[in-house]
């Protein structure tokens, strides 16, 4: 049985038929000049222009570079001199004094549970206090 080897039929949504001779596309000199001029216009996006004309952006960039070279213009990005004005030096802000932690006037907490006295100092963290209380509760 060959049916299980052959792929099941699929729905074809798009079918592109390429006609004519394959291989390299030949551009007339007029077409090449027109497309290159379009790509050199201010604000032109070379990738979009290339796609619109069915060519790769790299191909169009090569045409642009060749056209610039033929015109005697630089083919790479040019840098312009930059002038930086001296900015006024502002004095550094004075550091603010650090706030010191206020110590409470209390001397801590004293707990007595079932005859066991526990003193918790004023610097104890809330987690430590909660742990001590849990331990005392568990022991009673």
In this prediction, residue 93 carries a pLDDT of 76
Most confident region among 13-22, 58-67, 102-111 by mean pLDDT: 58-67
Separation between Cα atoms, residue 98 and residue 33, nearest integer Å: 71
The share of the chain scoring above pLDDT 70, in percent, equals 66
- Strand-pair partners of 111: 118
Percent of the chain with pLDDT over 90: 21
Which of the four pLDDT bands, split at 50, 70 and 90, describes residue 62?
Answer: very high
The answer to whether residues 108 and 118 touch, using CB atoms and an 8 Å cutoff, is: no
User: What pLDDT was estimated at residue 4?
Assistant: 57
Q: Which residue did the predictor score with more confidence, 37 or 97?
A: 37
Specify the residue for token string 């497309």.
35
Q: Write out the DSSP string of 50-66.
A: HHHTTS-HHHHHHHHHH
Residue whose pair of structure tokens reads 């290339």 in the numeric block = 50
What is the predicted pLDDT for the residue at 46? 92
pLDDT digits (tens, 9 = 90+) for 77-117: 666 666 666 667 777 777 777 766 655 556 777 777 667 67
CB contact at 8 A, 40 and 67: yes
Express each pLDDT in 106-124 by its tens digit.
677 777 766 767 777 788 8
pLDDT digits (tens, 9 = 90+) for 47-61: 999 999 989 999 999
pTM: 0.40
Q: What is the DSSP letter of 112?
A: E
Q: Where are the domains of the chain?
A: 29-70, 109-139
């Amino acid at each position: 049985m060959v049916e299980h080897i052959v792929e099941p039929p699929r729905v074809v949504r798009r079918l592109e038929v390429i006609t004519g001779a394959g291989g390299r596309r030949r551009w007339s000199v007029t077409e090449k000049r027109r497309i290159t001029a379009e790509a050199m216009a201010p604000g032109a996006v070379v990738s979009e222009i290339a796609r619109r004309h069915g060519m790769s952006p790299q191909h169009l960039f090569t045409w642009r570079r060749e056209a610039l070279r033929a015109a005697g213009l630089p083919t790479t990005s040019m840098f312009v001199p930059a002038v930086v004005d001296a900015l006024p030096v502002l004095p550094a802000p004075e550091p603010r004094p650090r706030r010191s932690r206020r110590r409470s006037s209390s001397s801590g907490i004293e707990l007595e549970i079932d005859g066991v006295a526990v003193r918790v100092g004023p610097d104890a963290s809330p987690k430590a206090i909660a742990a001590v209380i849990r331990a005392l509760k568990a022991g009673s």
